Every structure is written in C-alpha cells, then in structure tokens.
Amino acid sequence: MRNRHRLAAILLTAIASVQAVGADESAHPDFRNLKWRIDPRCVLTRGDSFDRRVVGDPCIVWDSAAKRWRMFYFASGDQGACTAMALSESAEKIGPGDWRKTGLVKLTNPEALFNPSNWHKWWVVMKAREPNHAAQIDGQYWSLFVSAKPNKHIQVASSDTLEGPWTLRSTPILSPDPQGFDGLHCDTPSAFWLEEKKEVLIYYKAYPQLAQSDQPGSPFGSCTVSAWWHPSWASARKGRPIMRPGRNSRDWNRGWTSGVQIFYSRETGGWYALTSGSPTPPEAESHREPDPSVAGWADIPGFETDWVLEKNGPFRYPKDLSAHEIEAGLAVNFWRHHLLATPGGQVRIFFNSGAYGKEQMYSLVPVM
C-alpha cells in the first residue's frame, strides 16, 4: 500500500509537469524513483511493406496540430532502413493498440539523402526542460537523423509542422573523424534545445576506427559524445565523450554506450539520463555490437563531464525474461528506450526488442 501511495504521488507530479506548458524545470519528477515491469504486448508490430523487418528506435513528441502524440520510428522493410511515423489514439491512450501508423516521413528534397535506403534514427529537437515537447527554433521544427554512405553521418531536416514535409540539408552537421573517437560512424543522435544558451545540445554514438586507449576493456566499443549546434551553423561543434565503455568492471555498459534521453530532477536539483548500452565488448576491430543491448539510468554531473551509471543497473537482462515474455517475442535486444508521460499520468518507456533484425516495439510500465 505504501508503494502504491508513493507511485501515485510521483505520477501526480508528472501530471502537473506535463500539463504546465513552459513549466519551470523544478516541476519535473524523478522517474528513477519508479520500479518498472515489461508489458509483453506489442505497441507496434512489424508490417508487410516499409516496416516488415524492424519497428524500433522511437522518438515521441506532442503534435498540437493533430492533438496526438507523434512517434517517429526506425522502419526496416522493402525500401531499406527508413523513418516512419505513427499517431497515438489520444493524449492518454498510448499503450498497445493505441497507435496508428501513417507511413514514411515525407521529404521535400529526398535527393539530398546520402542513401535513399538508409536514413533512420530520427530525433526531433526537444525542449530540454519539457520532455517530449518539440522546440521551435526560428519558427521551425528541426530533426536529426542518421544517413549512411557507407559510413554514418548525421544530417538535419526542418519543417513548419511535425507532420512534414521535411526539408533536408544536404551537408551533414556531424561526420566521422578518421583519427578520432568517431572515426567510423556518427550514429544515434538525440538533441535538446537549451533556451538559456540558445543552442542545441546533441548526444550521439561514436564508433571508433582505431583502438581507444581511454577504454582498455572495450577499445573498439562505441562511446557517447556531446556536441553543440544551432540551425544557423553549417556544422555542429563536437564536445567530448561523456560515457566510455570498458573503463572499469563495475559498469553494466562495459561493451558500448548509446541512445540517451535527458531529464531534470526536482528532488536532486540535477540532470539524469535514460541510456542504452551493452556489457559485451566488440571483438578486436570487428566494430560490431555483440548482444545483449540493455538500458538503465545515468546521473549527469554536467552536460560535458563524465556520467555515472546508476547502481541498480539495467531494467532487464535477456536471461531474466520469463517464458511468457519470450513467447511474446522479446529477446536479446532491448534498444533505444524512450520515456513518455501524459497529462493524465500515463507513463511508459518504449523500446524495441527481439532477435536483431526482427524487432518490434514494446514498453515498460510502472509497478503498482
């Protein structure tokens, strides 16, 4: 009973924070105080055309024009790896069966893509202190996405509406540096508008081409790197790695790190992140990411200082899946976790799971 009351109090705080447009940063709850369980029902299943292979990597923002939550997701199918969208049934109906696919993201100038069959991991620039609310910068919405030729770069797109169509910039804002921590790929971006700085804070996944001496336990594992950008700039200003794998034997992301969503905590007065990674280092020079992929929380002492993983570890390891969860299709990949809290107090963390290349979207819900 005590845990139920505690959860209710946290969710009431979440309701107030989401309802208050432009709310002060101190209004947001600390979602780390919740305990989570897997809802084994699919939120989005694979289809039979543009997403018949993979459905995953969600990014969700409120669309005030549609009066729905709009999800951008990785869609792998007959047209390769692209970006598709789905709309929630309402502001409160966000669970399994509550999302309607609307097809691929529409582009005004698709010729600006490096590869028309490889553009994915779309992330709408959000207000840092208003989770899941898109920022308008100079009257436009902005998105970052991965485009490969064959190395992965990060391009940007802008639109008057979240529905689109979106106009691409042909020149990437982040590209690999052959001698750097991102010598092979710049991948998996997330981006947050900091009003006080008038700049976009970016975190991205950096694959090295050369062995990294700063991560001896996983010299070829990908790290998470900060960067800064404004739409008036042709390229982003790279920062530094804030999470490196293989630095010690205590962290659960000893193999690689990636995929972050940041939050402000009223209780601690600081920032924290929802992040993904793996305990398994890549083999020497393979540049691949062995399973499993898992997710948990990280404390953010500063936007460009080393982050600290929470000791309670990932939400779930594959070995801990129940027979019912395995039968529902969950497997070794628990990837790109994304939290959404509604005005009425619904809270879910969306992620894709399954065998690699055959993933569907599931969710975590608070334990009552």
Secondary structure of the chain in HEC code, one letter for each residue = CHHHHHHHHHHHHHHHHHHCCCCCHHHCCCHHHCCEEEEEEEEECCCCCCCCCEEEEEEEEEECCCCEEEEEEEEEECCEEEEEEEEECCCCCCCCCCEEEEEECCECCHHHCCCCCEEEEEEECEECCCCCCECEECCEEEEEEEEECCCEEEEEEEECCCCCCEEECCCCCECCCCCCCCCCEEEEEEEEEECCCCEEEEEEEEECCCCCCCCCCCCCCCEEEEEEECCCCCCCEEEEEEECCCCCCCCCCCCEEEEEEEEECCCCCCEEEEEEEECCCCCCCCCCCCCCEEEEEEEECCCCCCCEECCCCCCCCHHHCCHHHHHCCCCCEEEEEEEEECCCCCEEEEEEEECCCCCEEEEEEECC
**pLDDT surpasses 50 at 66:** yes
| pLDDT score recorded for residue 22 | 37
Is-contact 224 239, C-beta < 8 A? Answer: no
List of domains in the chain: 2-366 (2.115.10.20)
- Average pLDDT, stretch 106-119? 97
323: burial class by Cβ within 10 Å (0-12, 13-18, 19+)? exposed
pLDDT band at 314 (very low <50, low <70, confident <90, very high): very high
| pLDDT score recorded for residue 11 | 54
Candidate from 27-41, 94-108, 332-346 with smallest mean pLDDT: 27-41
pLDDT band at 28 (very low <50, low <70, confident <90, very high): low
**Could you report the per-residue pLDDT of 172-192, keeping only the tens digit for each?**
999 999 999 999 999 999 999
| pLDDT score recorded for residue 70 | 98
Tell me, what amino acid is at 36?
Answer: W
**pLDDT surpasses 90 at 221:** yes
pLDDT band at 149 (very low <50, low <70, confident <90, very high): confident
Residue pointed to by tokens 């600081």: 270
| pLDDT score recorded for residue 72 | 98
Is-contact 212 223, C-beta < 8 A? Answer: yes
**pLDDT surpasses 80 at 288:** no
Angle 286-145-237 from CA coordinates, rounded to 5°? 85
Q: What is the pTM assigned to this prediction?
A: 0.93
How high does pLDDT run on average in the chain? 92
